């Protein structure tokens, strides 16, 4: 991806660590200027420091409309454009059977994982993409395609995000491409409850013999955002180490 993003500006939400930070780093390595967002200013500042001179951060909650407006305005002020948007911010404050779920927690999941992704896309579209084009990448999940135990609210929100990806791909074409990635378990702090203390056991269910690393979705995201994917839109790329082939989720 050497210089594939030279002259481009990317905004990556939920990017102080994990998959979001890995995607931001991959885009920066390809020549992009990058703005990253996250809720905690201190952790965000550390992430920005590792991304190079053409990086900035704006702290705030992804589902806060004022934060979205502020972040996009800050990017436009500093860099004058926003070519690439990565909707990575996500939460999962609910665990257990969906039929017993606290509806307030479910609403929060949908606000951050789905509605905020639409809000960020609307903001980037209004500020730059409507006139100049660009590319959007939504970070979904394998759980958005295959039901699983315990995280039904999260999974259904990711299914909605995949549907949103297809809808926006139609609406924003031909100048803006919209795609998604759907990772299985990736070794991040966010996902540690799914593998911590039993990584060897979980990894053994994957034909490729390991769990994902943040670099795996990051490289896939960079491909879908880059010029080599110029004839791809509305697609969701599954990154699961082959686990679906064995029927495990």
CATH code for the domain in which residue 186 is found: 3.40.50.720
Determine the Cα–Cα distance for residues 88 and 54; give it in Å rounded to an integer. 20
Distance CA(241)–CA(206), nearest Å, equals 6
Q: Is residue 2 part of a domain?
A: no
Q: Which domain holds residue 177?
A: 9-242
Q: What is the pLDDT of residue 197?
A: 72
For residue 247, is it within any domain? Answer: no
At residue 15, the pLDDT reads 97
Write the Ramachandran bin of 242: left for phi over 0, alpha for psi from -120 to 50, otherwise beta: left
With 60 as the cut, is the pLDDT of residue 153 above it? yes
Q: How far is CA 183 from the centre of its chain?
A: 10
Which tokens hold the place of 169?
Answer: 């791909």
**Do the domain assignments include residue 248?**
no
CA gap 241, 199 in Å, rounded: 14
Structure tokens at 15: 């990017």
169: closest CA among 161, 181, 177? 177
Per-residue pLDDT reduced to its tens digit, 41-93: 999 999 999 999 999 999 999 999 999 999 999 999 999 999 999 999 999 99
CA dihedral over 115, 79, 55, 186, signed as positive or negative: positive
**Residue 198: count of CB within 10 angstroms of its CB:** 10
44 within a domain of the structure (yes/no):
yes
* Intra-chain end-to-end CA distance of the chain, in Å: 31
Query: Does any domain span residue 249?
Result: no
Q: How many domains does the chain fold into? A: 1
Q: Tell which phi-psi region holds residue 150, choosing left (phi > 0), alpha (psi between -120 and 50) or beta.
A: left
Residue 4 inside a domain? The answer is: no
**Residue 148: predicted pLDDT:** 86
3-state secondary structure 2-66: CCCCCCCEEEECCCCCHHHHHHHHHHHHCCCEEEEEECCHHHHHHHHHCCCCCEEEEECCCCCHH
The phi, psi pair for 186, rounded to 5°, reads -115, 140
The 10s digit of each residue's pLDDT in 3-33 is: 999 999 999 999 999 999 999 999 999 999 9
Give every strand in the sheet of 33-38, ordered side by side: 55-59, 33-38, 9-12, 84-87, 134-139, 176-183, 236-239
Cβ-contact 119, 84 below 8 angstroms: no
Answer whether residue 108 shows pLDDT above 60.
yes
Residue 142 lies in a domain: yes
Residue 189's pLDDT is: 80
26 lies in some domain? yes
By annotation, the residues acting in catalysis are 154
**225 touches 135 (CB < 8 A):** yes
> Residue 246 — very low, low, confident or very high, per pLDDT cuts 50/70/90?
confident
State the helix-helix crossing angle for 116-124 and 152-172, rounded to 10 degrees: 20
Q: How far is CA 227 from the centre of its chain?
A: 19
């Amino acid at each position: 991806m050497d210089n594939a993003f030279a002259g481009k500006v990317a905004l990556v939400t939920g990017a102080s660590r994990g998959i979001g930070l890995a995607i931001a780093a991959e885009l920066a390595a390809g020549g992009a200027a990058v703005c990253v967002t996250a809720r905690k200013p201190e952790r965000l500042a550390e992430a920005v420091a590792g991304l190079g001179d053409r990086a900035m951060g704006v702290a705030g909650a992804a589902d806060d409309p004022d934060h979205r407006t502020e972040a996009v305005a800050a990017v436009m002020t500093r860099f004058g454009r926003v070519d690439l948007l990565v909707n990575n911010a996500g939460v999962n404050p609910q665990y257990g059977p969906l039929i017993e779920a606290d509806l307030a927690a479910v609403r929060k999941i949908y606000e951050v994982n789905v509605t905020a992704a639409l809000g960020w896309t609307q903001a980037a579209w209004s500020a730059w993409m409507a006139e100049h084009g660009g590319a959007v990448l939504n970070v979904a999940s394998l759980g958005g395609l295959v039901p699983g135990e315990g995280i039904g609210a999260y999974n259904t929100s990711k299914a909605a995000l995949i549907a949103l990806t297809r809808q926006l791909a139609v609406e924003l074409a031909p100048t803006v491409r919209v795609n998604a990635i759907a990772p299985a378990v990736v070794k991040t702090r966010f996902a540690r409850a799914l593998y911590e203390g039993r990584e060897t056991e979980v990894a053994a269910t994957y034909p490729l013999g390991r769990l994902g690393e943040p670099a795996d979705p990051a490289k896939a995201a960079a491909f879908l955002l880059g010029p080599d994917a110029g004839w791809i839109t509305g697609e969701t790329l599954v990154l699961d180490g082959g686990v679906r082939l064995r029927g495990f989720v």
